[in-house]
Structure 1
């Protein structure tokens, strides 16, 4: 990933979890990085903190323009901002469906749309969307969240087709259950947090949750010129959850 040196990168939802791990890794490899987040105050130098609400088009356009000015252009966009939801198709009201889709899907649309003029000017343009194992595997109690991430996967492929001839590569990562602040909050709210964590660990063939740093490494690879021939790809970082079917332990 030495080719990241000097490139300008924007990471949405970059103040915590996977986004912060990604921003730090890109910066460590020489990129100039702006973090767009609702609460960017905790972001430390050399990262550039910028407040943005991906559910608000004007906010996104202003933040992306400021990022481009601060960074001297935009070569990399990481669309990581997202929110979760728990429940079956019966459980979430229409208002929640609109809110989650507005952030998880239209947030990508707004940010990419604002960044495209700068990406078109780059010789190393790349967009990486944070998708999820929920886009390709049926998970219980995740109807709304899964629908939003299924849309992200389809959107990634369509965007890749639209912009490949402009020299803009577009990919996504599909993390398994990751050890992030959002998952930690879910565990804290469970009746038996230890049992719930054990169940989440066991769901992945590797026997543990994915780390934010592991997902960040995949994002950084897809964003880097090392992946110059990779576009329209969904890279699973899921401990084997998507493709492996292990026999029960001891058999």
Structure 2
């Protein structure tokens, strides 16, 4: 039997801003104890959660560290007694093709985007199994399905994350652990504007390329994560949930 929501625990990477911040605030509002994980300070998010009567702690960590899984999951267990929801949302990117991205940059992108998810899940699975189940959620990307110019390292890492989701869903479904990912296109976060500069794609061009003409807000992704972690989503497992306004459906002629 899983723990009641009032005693459930969520750990979220990239929780200092953007989707991670919105997700941390959403889970805290729903009664979870939340461990905020980021390479920068999460003091602002901690203050927001605390002022609303929620319960949260933070750990500052570089997800390229091979010990990140044991450090984060271990801290969740130490502070809150276990872990029920793991959300690996943090990501980085670098510009270039397979010809131009050096090994050191490619490896760092894979370490943060993919290997951190693997290392976190490796530590989380036995704890969730012991607690009767849980939810593991990854932020993948439309780039894991479709070509994005000048972004081979990022795209490859996200494609691998999507297939990791499928593999884990089958391997651990009978443990009561559901694994899903969300595959957004552009989201209105600081990373969007950084990516716009790195990859040379103006934000308005991204908006024009979305069939809905709408770039999702972080709260929309957070709401999807809250649903996927809930009992209402008990039959959703191994899925990549697109949140791209229909960009992944097929070719679309950009319109103003």
Please confirm whether the aligned pair reaches a TM-score higher than 0.5, indicating the same fold. yes
For 1:59 and 1:245, the matched residues in 2 are separated by 39
For 1:186 and 1:245, the matched residues in 2 are separated by 22
For 1:29 and 1:63, the matched residues in 2 are separated by 21
Does the 8 A contact of 1:36 with 1:52 survive in 2?
Answer: yes
Point out the more displaced range, 180-189 or 20-29.
180-189
Does the 8 A contact of 1:24 with 1:47 survive in 2?
Answer: no
Structure 1 match to 2:61? 52
1:234 aligns with 2:240: yes
* Aligned partner of 2:97 among 88, 91, 100: 88
SS in 2 for 1:57: coil
Give the RMSD, CA atoms, in angstroms: 2.1
For 1:123 and 1:241, the matched residues in 2 are separated by 37
For 2:11 and 2:220, the matched residues in 1 are separated by 19
SS in 2 for 1:126: strand
The runs of 5 or more residues in structure 2 that have no matched partner are none
1:26 to partner: Cα distance: 0.8
SS in 2 for 1:77: strand
1:166 to partner: Cα distance: 1.0
1:33 aligns with 2:34: yes
Count of residues paired in the alignment? 245
Structure 2 match to 1:21? 22
1:206 aligns with 2:212: yes
1:103 aligns with 2:112: yes
SS in 1 for 2:202: helix
The 1:79/1:41 distance shift into structure 2, 3 A limit, reads closer
1:129 aligns with 2:130: no
Structure 2 match to 1:225? 231
The 1:40/1:120 distance shift into structure 2, 3 A limit, reads farther
The 1:111/1:249 distance shift into structure 2, 3 A limit, reads closer
1:202 to partner: Cα distance: 0.9
Structure 2 match to 1:197? 203
For 1:226 and 1:122, the matched residues in 2 are separated by 19
For 1:82 and 1:247, the matched residues in 2 are separated by 29
Does the 8 A contact of 1:7 with 1:74 survive in 2?
Answer: yes
Does the 8 A contact of 2:150 with 2:199 survive in 1?
Answer: no
1:216 aligns with 2:222: yes
Does the 8 A contact of 2:37 with 2:72 survive in 1?
Answer: yes
Point out the more displaced range, 67-76 or 227-236.
67-76
Tell me the TM-score normalised to structure 2 length: 0.88
* Aligned partner of 2:155 among 146, 150, 165: 146
1:124 to partner: Cα distance: 4.3
The 1:227/1:55 distance shift into structure 2, 3 A limit, reads same
Tell me the TM-score normalised to structure 1 length: 0.90
SS in 2 for 1:78: strand
Does the 8 A contact of 1:200 with 1:208 survive in 2?
Answer: no
For 1:248 and 1:145, the matched residues in 2 are separated by 24
1:14 to partner: Cα distance: 1.1
The runs of 5 or more residues in structure 1 that have no matched partner are none
